[in-house]
Amino acid sequence: MVYYVAIFSVSVYRDPGVPMRTTVIVTALGPDRHGLLAAVATTIAEQDANIDDVSQTVSNGMFTMIMFVSFDETETSMAELQNALGGTGETTGLQIHVQHENIFRFMHRI
Amino acid sequence: MVFITAEEILETVRMIQAENLDVRAVTMGISLHDCSSRNVDDLCRRVFKKVVAHGKRLVPVAKEIQDKYGVPIVNRRISVTPISDVVASDDPAAYVKVAQALDAAAQEIEVDFIGGFSAMVQKGFTKGDCALIEAIPEAIAGTERVCSSVNVASTRAGINMDAVVKMAGVLREVAKRTAKQDAIGAAKIVTFCNVPEDNPFMAGALHGSGEPEVSINVAISGPGVIRNVVASHPDISFTDLADLIKRTTFKITRIGELVAREASEMLGAQMGIIDLSLAPSPKVGDSIAEILESMGLERVGAPGSTAALALLNDAVKKGGTMATSSTGGLSGAFIPVSEDAGMVRAAAEGALTIEKLEAMTSVCSLGLDMIVVPGDTSAAALAGMMADVMAIGMINSKTTGARLIPAYGKKVGDWVTLGGLFGESPVMAVNAAGNEAFVARGGRIPAPLQSLTN
């Protein structure tokens, strides 16, 4: 799997009148079946968050998905999103993790 | 704009989920210098108030950061100014009261340990230092969360052998008082050479005199990540192996840097240091011994173990220093026996002995750490073992420490369960040859030459 995804720094535009936009990375891993992407995407839509980018593959029956999701802090929060996706994880059998983008930037780029 | 590949994202997720990558500890250092008072009750009130005032947000902030980045922060801890610098009394009972105040403060803010019931006696004792050391058994046995450390040696001062002998007596007494819990009290006492002033790891954390009012120090971890990297490359040369470990450590340390920056900003504290240590936990797969074994040793303790550890320790530091400019603390791989499932297995099988651990101490962090010895080990033997560890630190200008647990009433081969992160361990054999006349000499082993270093 070699493809690149652009992450825009969230702190570039800090107009005090504009609510801060947070970007998180959602990863979902687990045994494949129908409707997994739809289930995760629906939960994200219900939380008023936006999917900026998505990549998904199935290999040897294992479903792997990476989503870049952004949201306004006024509309939803990291905790709410994690909570909602935790529920989706339980119903779909997926391990779903929601992590702020900075951890990936810090770990993999100087 | 930053580009991150899908592989890199999944690598991070795998390290955290499958390989036990975590931040071992976020430790807040708090200066207690302004709490001094001639009246010990006043002093205790001030200490409690100050620790709670600064530390009360530590646990919620750590939780917030943990949720934000999805990386576990295992321990939240407090370190304070060495208590012998804060208390103006030569009455051990006063020190015990301060230990109780520290314990109460730690309980109030829900941190698992508070370190700094400490004294620096490498060159000699003040009256207060003597009283503090005398108070350690009661202070440790009578509290739940207080940790104690005493620096008895340094490269510049030599080894205060009188202090080493006193500490041996303290260990035996603490072990006796906590016999019902398998002598766990002794696990909360470290005897140091060249103690660092900014160490985030317990039991030896303290907030030294060169530190700011409040600081945040972060201890990273991740032996499981390194082990998997090593195990998945069974045939590469040592040169390539060192490079691989460096690159992996870089990534682990960056998480520590991120957490330290964010925690210090949120808590209004100065960012202190990242401790570039690989610290094991009793969980299988979170072991330093298993890293060495994945390099090709059947069991840790086999010939070559010291060389393997030297490679690992150096590569960890090289990768880590590239990832953060704020290094400090102990910074090196730890080899505590009871806290490392692989070390415990090797010790139980007889592959790992105290003598081999002492040799390994010369190339890594800390020293004879979390080693359970028979309860009837003489004070002289304990003092001799500690003196050996101090000598390695003193001569090599590095930090070494001893955490020996003389398990009251237990013999070689018996098992002790210390619980939680302290783990469990078989009682290890101590060389039976006598050394009473040696340690009875007292005085100070002089500081070594800093040239002609062979």
DSSP states along A3-49? -EEEE--TTS---TTSPPEEEEEEEEEEE--TTHHHHHHHHHHHTT-
pLDDT value at residue A17: 60
Q: What is the domain extent for residue A49?
A: 21-108
Q: In this structure, is residue A13 part of a structural domain?
A: no
DSSP states along B146-170? EEEEEEEEETTTEEEHHHHHHHHHH
Q: In this structure, is residue A12 part of a structural domain?
A: no
Query: Does the structure show a pLDDT above 70 at A7?
Result: no
Q: What is the domain extent for residue B61?
A: 13-333
Q: Which of B8, B68, B225 to mutate to test the interface with A (most CBs of A within 10 A)?
A: B68
Confidence of residue A10 (pLDDT cuts 50, 70, 90): very low
The position carrying tokens 């039991």 is: B203
The pair of three-digit structure tokens given for residue B189, joined into one six-digit string: 């006492």
pLDDT value at residue B123: 96
In eight-state DSSP terms, residue A86 is H
pLDDT value at residue A14: 46
Query: Does the structure show a pLDDT above 70 at A25?
Result: yes
Q: In this structure, is residue B372 part of a structural domain?
A: no
The predicted-structure confidence for A39-79, as pLDDT tens digits, reads as follows 999 999 999 999 999 999 999 999 999 999 999 988 999 99
Q: In this structure, is residue B68 part of a structural domain?
A: yes
Residue B194 CA to residue B154 CA, distance in Å, equals 5
Asked whether the beta carbons of residue B67 and residue A79 sit closer than 8 angstroms, the reply is yes
Residue A65 CA to residue A96 CA, distance in Å, equals 9
Three-state DSSP state, B85: helix
The position carrying tokens 């304070």 is: B80
Asked whether the beta carbons of residue A78 and residue B67 sit closer than 8 angstroms, the reply is yes
Residue B339 CA to residue B319 CA, distance in Å, equals 24
Nearest CB to A55: which of B6, B8, B71? B6
Query: Does the structure show a pLDDT above 90 at A109?
Result: no
Question: Which chain B residues are Cβ-neighbours of A99 within 8 angstroms?
Answer: 12-13, 68-71
- Tell which A residues from 5 to 34 touch B, by Cβ distance under 8 Å: 5-9, 25, 27, 29
Residue B136 CA to residue B84 CA, distance in Å, equals 12
Asked whether the beta carbons of residue A97 and residue B70 sit closer than 8 angstroms, the reply is yes
- The contacts of residue B48 (CB under 8 Å, 6+ apart) are B101, B104, B105, B108
Query: Which regions in chain B score pLDDT beneath 70?
Result: 1-2
Phi-psi region of A71 (alpha: psi -120 to 50; beta: other; left: phi over 0): beta
The position carrying tokens 């303790």 is: B301
Query: Between these two residues, A110 and B213, which has the higher pLDDT value?
Result: B213
**Exposure of A46 by Cβ count < 10 A (0-12 exposed, 13-18 middle, 19+ buried)?**
exposed
Q: What CATH number has the domain bearing residue A88?
A: 3.30.70.260
Q: What CATH number has the domain bearing residue B249?
A: 3.20.70.20
Q: In this structure, is residue A57 part of a structural domain?
A: yes
Alpha-carbon distances, residue B237 vs B234, B240, B315, B447 (angstroms): 9, 5, 14, 40
The pair of three-digit structure tokens given for residue B236, joined into one six-digit string: 């590469």
Question: Which chain B residues are Cβ-neighbours of A4 within 8 angstroms?
Answer: 3-5
Q: In this structure, is residue B362 part of a structural domain?
A: no
- How many domains does one find in chain B? 1
Nearest CB to B71: which of A7, A103, A109? A103
Residue B24 CA to residue B362 CA, distance in Å, equals 24
CB atoms within 10 A of CB B233: 14
Region A12-23: mean pLDDT is: 64
Q: In this structure, is residue A63 part of a structural domain?
A: yes
DSSP states along B171-202? HHHHHHHTGGGTTGGGGGEEEEES--SS--SS
- How many domains does one find in chain A? 1
In eight-state DSSP terms, residue B285 is T
Q: Which of B93, B191, B95, B208 is nearest to B146 (CA)?
A: B95
B178: amino acid identity, one letter: T
Chains A and B form CB pairs within 8 A to the count of 83
User: Which residues pair with residue A95 across a beta bridge?
Assistant: A29
Q: In this structure, is residue A6 part of a structural domain?
A: no
Asked whether the beta carbons of residue B70 and residue A103 sit closer than 8 angstroms, the reply is yes
Query: Does the structure show a pLDDT above 50 at A13?
Result: no
Query: Between these two residues, A8 and B248, which has the higher pLDDT value?
Result: B248
Query: Does the structure show a pLDDT above 70 at A2?
Result: no
